Structure 1
Amino acid sequence: MAVEDEQRQLDQVRIHLEQEFSDRVPADVVARHFADIVGRYEGVPVRTFLPVLVRRQTKELLASNE
Structure 2
Amino acid sequence: FPSQLLEAETMRNIFMNNYHLCNEISDRVVQHFVHCVETHGRHVEYLRFLQTIVKADGKYVKKCQDVVMTE
TM-score by length of 2: 0.30
Normalized per residue, the structure richer in helix is 2
Tell which structure's C-alpha radius of gyration is larger. Answer: 1
Normalized per residue, the structure richer in strand is 2
